[in-house]
């Protein structure tokens, strides 16, 4: 059996970054407008700090105005809501992202819903979820991870997925559900599976497209996969491995990459697959928001 194509998310993200940087420069030259991204982080979760740092670096690399707002882990609900209200009113800011998860004492739902839909570059506001679910993908801000996955799927299978079976493993609001909406909008026949699904390997066996987003290291095995399937691994799991008698920490996905790549047509690696695409889609959404603010004076969803 031949080895699958390794879908290089890092290289694709670099290509997109060059396009976004060029468009940003044009926006600045022609309209004196710089896309502005504000990232809010509450507390000191180490993984979140890494993600936020990477987002800030990429925003700067694209030529954006970039702000990071770090609140103490014991910040209260009103402080977070006040910060978001200020960012909603700030004309230099076109995209607001509150890094999740938030500390348990905060109401995550109320916080994400307080971001103006027109600045909701994460696509978590109900207005944007509603547009996406209604199939109005062109007008919604689509959550960044599924948007990035979709671009990689389209690269391999084209934009019309008629007749293809897609299986999404995981039903989160951030990945699983919006991923299913995007696949459905592209005419795939979609199954969402989760921890209560019977015979997951049997369901996955029928899939031409598999998107794994569960957070369980190496869960998806080679013998689950239909020969020739496209497999997208959203998992980012830190595991301990023994190297020369020493314990080292390593990132691994939800997919058993080596085994799956013997059967599938194409697989994303971890790291270097979905992760870089997620960040670049955030930049793409922020650039789009800036352009929309120019076109309409008010941005989408805020009327």
Catalytic residues: 55, 99, 122
- Residues linked to residue 169 through DSSP beta bridges, in sequence order: 193, 212
Q: Which is nearer to ligand GUN, 235 or 266 (CB)?
A: 235
Do 24 and 60 form a contact (C-beta atoms < 8 A)? no
Do 141 and 290 form a contact (C-beta atoms < 8 A)? no
Closest distance to ligand GUN from the beta carbon of 122 (Å): 5
Closest distance to ligand GUN from the beta carbon of 99 (Å): 5
Closest distance to ligand GUN from the beta carbon of 26 (Å): 27
**Binding stretches for ligand GUN (CB under 6 A):** 97-100, 122, 144-145, 174
CA gap 24, 290 in Å, rounded: 9
Sequence-distant (≥ 6) Cβ neighbours of residue 18 within 8 angstroms: none
Q: Which is nearer to ligand GUN, 98 or 182 (CB)?
A: 98
Please report how many Cα atoms fall inside a 13 Å half-sphere around the Cα of residue 178, on the Cβ side: 26
What are the DSSP E strand ranges found in the chain? 5-6, 36-42, 65-71, 95-98, 165-169, 189-193, 209-212, 230-233, 237-243, 246-252, 266-267
Closest distance to ligand GUN from the beta carbon of 145 (Å): 5
Position of minimal CB gap to ligand GUN: 100
Q: Which is nearer to ligand GUN, 42 or 174 (CB)?
A: 174
Q: Which is nearer to ligand GUN, 62 or 149 (CB)?
A: 149
Sequence-distant (≥ 6) Cβ neighbours of residue 287 within 8 angstroms: 20, 23, 24, 27, 35, 62, 64
């Amino acid at each position: 059996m031949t080895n699958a194509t390794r879908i290089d998310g890092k290289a694709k993200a670099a290509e997109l970054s060059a396009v976004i940087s060029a468009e940003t420069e044009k926006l600045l030259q022609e309209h004196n407008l710089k896309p502005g991204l504000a990232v809010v982080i509450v507390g000191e979760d180490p993984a979140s700090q890494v993600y936020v740092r990477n987002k800030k670096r990429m925003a700067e690399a694209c030529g954006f105005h970039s702000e990071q707002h770090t609140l103490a882990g014991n910040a209260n609900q009103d402080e977070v809501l006040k910060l978001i209200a200020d960012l909603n009113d700030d004309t230099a800011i076109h995209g607001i992202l509150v890094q999740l998860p938030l500390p348990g004492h905060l109401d995550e739902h109320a916080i994400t819903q307080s971001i103006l839909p027109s600045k909701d570059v994460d696509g978590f506001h109900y207005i944007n979820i509603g547009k996406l679910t209604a199939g109005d993908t062109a007008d919604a801000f689509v959550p960044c991870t599924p948007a990035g996955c979709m671009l990689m799927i389209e690269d391999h299978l084209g934009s019309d997925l008629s007749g293809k079976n897609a299986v999404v493993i995981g039903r989160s609001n951030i990945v699983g559900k919006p991923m299913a909406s995007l696949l459905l909008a592209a005419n795939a026949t979609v199954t969402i599976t989760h921890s209560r699904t019977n015979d997951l390997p049997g369901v996955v066996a029928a899939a031409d497209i598999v998107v794994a987003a569960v957070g369980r290291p190496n869960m998806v095995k080679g013998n689950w996969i239909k020969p020739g399937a496209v497999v997208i691994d959203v998992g980012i799991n830190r595991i301990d491995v023994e190297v020369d008698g020493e314990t080292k920490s390593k990132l691994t996905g939800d997919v058993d990459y080596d085994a799956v790549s013997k059967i599938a047509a194409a697989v994303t690696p971890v790291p270097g697959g979905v992760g870089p695409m997620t960040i670049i889609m955030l930049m793409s959404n922020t650039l789009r928001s800036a352009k929309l603010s120019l076109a309409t004076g008010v941005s989408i969803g805020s009327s």
